[in-house]
């Protein structure tokens, strides 16, 4: 699992500092952050499509976008705090911020993929986001 998430975070969106990447890999932080990102994206999108969108007008595109924005913010802070506590404090703010933004990018991609998967089974949000 550590290799899979290291590939996602390092190879696809290159993290500039080798020491930061190596510290994240050695501590196993990639796995915990990656699993939180995947599971939160999956379950929160599931919650949106099968519960939240069924009430009132929450099935509209603006609420879908705000919901994904909330998931991205949550995952930014999870990645920042987990990486800050997992590795040496000698890393710079920019390294933590860059890694957290890469996590936000992957959160957005996985939320979109889960949206496509869940929208066909939703009652009211079957046309959300498109």
Q: Name the DSSP letter for residue 121.
A: T
Residue with tokens 């991609």: 109
Q: What is the pLDDT of residues 24-76, one digit of tens each?
A: 888 888 899 999 999 999 999 888 878 877 777 766 778 888 989 999 999 99
Average pLDDT value for the chain:
82
- Radius of gyration of the chain, Cα coordinates, nearest whole angstrom: 16
What's the pLDDT at 71? 95
Task: Compute φ and ψ for 54, nearest 5 degrees.
Answer: -80, -10
What is the model's pLDDT at position 37?
Answer: 94
Please give the Cα distance from 102 to 41 (Å, whole number). Answer: 15
Q: Structure pTM?
A: 0.86
């Amino acid at each position: 699992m550590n290799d899979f998430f290291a590939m996602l975070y390092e190879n696809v969106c290159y993290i500039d500092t080798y020491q930061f990447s190596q510290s994240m890999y050695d501590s196993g932080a990639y796995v915990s952050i990656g699993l939180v990102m995947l599971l939160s994206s999956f379950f929160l999108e599931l919650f949106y499509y099968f519960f939240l969108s069924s009430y009132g007008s929450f099935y509209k595109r603006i609420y879908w976008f705000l919901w994904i924005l909330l998931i991205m913010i949550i995952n930014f802070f999870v990645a920042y705090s987990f990486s800050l506590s997992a590795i040496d404090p000698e890393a710079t703010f920019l390294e933590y911020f860059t890694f957290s933004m890469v996590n936000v990018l992957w959160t957005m991609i996985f939320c979109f993929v889960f949206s496509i998967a869940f929208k066909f089974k939703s009652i009211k949000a079957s046309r959300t986001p498109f």
